[in-house]
Structure 1
Amino acid sequence: MRVALRCLVCVLSCAVTFSVAKAEETTVTYKSLTPEMALEAAQAALKQCRADGYQVSVAVVDRAGETQVLLRDRFAGLPANQTAVDKAWTSVGFRADTSQLASSIKDGTLDPRLATRPRIAMLGGALMIEAGGTLLGAIGVSGAPGGDKDEKCARAGLDAIRDKLDF
């Protein structure tokens, strides 16, 4: 009887382990930014650009490229909103900062025809948001006179939340 009971416990234990392992194979767990954290990053980027004298739009997208936050200063140019979103989307899609992508187009590492595809913005001004080696999203800025200035503002947004990321 004891042997049979031990066998039954062993079989049930294996079945539970197999069931848990099977469930882990069929689901994915990932981290993402809260809307509050995305907003804080966008506000810090906007603040930096204002301090530098630029009217811009700032977009934060999640790891799937969906817009979480979009802020537009009062006098930002008409294309600034879409360009900021597209820069952030491009950064997530290529898993690279857009200034690196722009350099890769110029030096021939990337095919320049990529820059003609819809939504792809191979312009400086977007940075990936990562923590612990995990891509959380990206922040894109548009409207300053040059991608380097947009990127400075995006970096300020990223720096504002870096210490709060829980990795």
Structure 2
Amino acid sequence: MILSAMLTSSSALSMAQGVIAQKTLTTEGALSIAHAALDKCHADGYHVSLTILDSSGLIKFQLRGDGTGPHTLEHSRRKAYTALTFKRTSAETAKAWAASPTPPPLIEGTVGAAGGVPIRVDNDVIGAIGVSGAPGGEKDEVCASAGIAKLLESAK
């Protein structure tokens, strides 16, 4: 009887340890980020493309903006992937690579250009956004950050 109770208790503990709770970027959240980022870029006069990735690196939302170059869609995905992979802005990653005495790591799909920002909820990175097409990556990053701010503001 005692052995049976111990096995049952141990089994329940193992089940709890085998499952994790995880924050997830919803479709509505991704759309909210996209709209706010585009609104910011359009208000500043920029035509951009953007990509939003989930925490697994899969595309949650992607848009090639009117009047953008053909490269901007893929470039926005790479910026987002860089931000997700390194859990910091793609600009911070570019600066770290430039300051390093060794060559940057060859991670397929990453790029050393500003415009990618991780999407954080508390301390968890639940995705990333990359924006491409403004005249300078720092302007892309402002738009991406505006999108994330809108999501976080609506989550309060």
Assess same fold via TM > 0.5. yes
For 1:127, the equivalent position in structure 2 comes to 117
> Percent of aligned pairs with the same residue?
31
Q: Comparing 28-37 with 135-144, which one deviates more in the overlay?
A: 28-37
Instruction: Output the aligned Cα RMSD.
Output: 1.8
Q: How does 1:99-118 map to 2 (within 5 A)?
A: 99-108=91-100, 111-114=102-105, 117-118=107-108
Which residue identity lines up with residue 87 of structure 2 in the other structure? Answer: R
TM-score by length of structure 2 reads 0.91
Partners of 2:88 and 2:5 in 1: CA distance: 45
Q: Which moved more, 1:69-78 or 1:24-33?
A: 24-33
Q: Distance in 1 between matches of 2:30 and 2:131?
A: 13
Q: In the TM superposition, what is the alpha-carbon distance from 1:14 to its structure 2 partner?
A: 3.0
- Structure 1 unpaired stretches of 5+: 1-7
How is 1:132-147 mapped onto 2 (pairs within 5 angstroms)? 132-147=122-137
Number of equivalent positions: 156
Q: Which residue of 2 aligns with 1:95?
A: 87
Q: Which has the larger radius of gyration?
A: 1
Matches within 5 A, 1:9-158: 11-108=3-100, 111-114=102-105, 117-158=107-148
Q: Gaps (5+ residues) in structure 2?
A: none
State how far apart, in whole Å, the 2-side matches of 1:41 and 1:165 are: 12
Provide the C-alpha distance between the structure 2 equivalents of 1:64 and 1:165, rounded to a whole number of angstroms: 22
